[in-house]
Homo-oligomer: A and B are copies of this chain.
Amino acid sequence: MARTADSGKLPATAWAVLGILSFGEEMTGYAIRQWADHVLRFFYWSPAMSQIYSELKRLERLGYAVSRAAVADDGRGKQVYTITEPGRAALAEWAAHAPVEPPVLKHGPMLRAWLGHLSSPELLREQLEEHRSDAERTRAEAEYSQSVSAQVPGWAYPELVTRWATRYYTAQRDLADRMLADLDDLARREDGQGEPEPERIPNGS
């Protein structure tokens, strides 16, 4: 089965685009991007249009999606995409049997905090406060997406993951608050005020 062999090499982003089509609607590349921005970006990915079009091309080549020319409301031409039955079968096969990729986290603000010895407490605090407000904004956006998902028939799973995302960004916000409090403690200890922890008292070398 050449098709299965090909699909085995597809990156997760191709499956994500096919996944958006698997909810059943005929969609333009632009609508796919909007979908990604409203749901997928909270836990996976916020793709560029060019990436969406190159994935759609690949999915068409594999016979997993088909497209047709249509006319938009404003009279301009547009290309709309639909998942095919082989596409749906391949996606279901992937979802069920491909090894689940472990979560990948690249946390810029923590990379800076780790280098706190090269920075100043004020600057670090500023960077963390910005991260804190980004997390709060994303939390509110995820919550809104969750409330929208709850209204759409057939969107039980998008609702489930946007609910997870709302909690995730709540946790991000709260962890930033706790680190800000830890930074205050650290500053107090370094100022020699408050109680130093036993292991922080230098003894010997």
Stretch at the interface among A26-34, A49-57, A62-70, A98-106: A98-106
Residue of B nearest to A178 (CB): B167
Q: Does A160 contact B (CB under 8 A)?
A: yes
Q: A160 and B183: CB pair below 8 A?
A: yes
Any B CB within 8 A of the CB of A113: yes
* Contact between A39 and B114, CB atoms less than 8 A apart: yes
Verify B161–A171 contact, CB threshold 8 A. no
How many chain-A residues does the 8 Å CB contact rule pick out?
68
The verdict on A140 contacting chain B, using a C-beta distance below 8 Å, is: no
A112 sits at the interface (CB 8 A): yes
Question: Which one of A1-9, A74-82, A89-97 is at the B interface?
Answer: A89-97
> How close is A199's CB to chain B, nearest CB, in angstroms?
6
Q: Would you call the interface of chain A mostly helix, strand, loop, or mixed?
A: helix
Q: Contact between B157 and A164 (Cβ–Cβ < 8 Å)?
A: no
Contact status B156-A116, CB under 8 Å: yes
Residue of B nearest to A117 (CB): B157
Q: A100-B130, A171-B175, A199-B151 are in contact. Are A114 and B45 (CB under 8 A)?
A: no
A171 partner residues in chain B, CB cutoff 8 A: 168, 171, 175
How far is B178's CA from A201's CA once the two chains are assembled, in angstroms? 41
A130-161 at interface with B (beta carbon < 8 Å): 130-131, 134, 150-151, 153-154, 156-158, 160-161
Binding site for B on A (CB under 8 A): 12, 15-16, 19, 22-23, 39-40, 43-45, 88, 91-92, 95-96, 100-120, 123, 127, 130-131, 134, 150-151, 153-154, 156-158, 160-161, 163-165, 167-168, 171-172, 175, 178-179, 182-183, 186, 190, 197, 199, 202
Contacts A/B (CB < 8 Å), 19 sampled: A22-B115, A40-B111, A43-B114, A45-B106, A92-B118, A100-B109, A102-B108, A103-B108, A103-B131, A105-B105, A110-B164, A113-B161, A114-B161, A116-B157, A116-B160, A160-B182, A163-B182, A164-B182, A167-B178
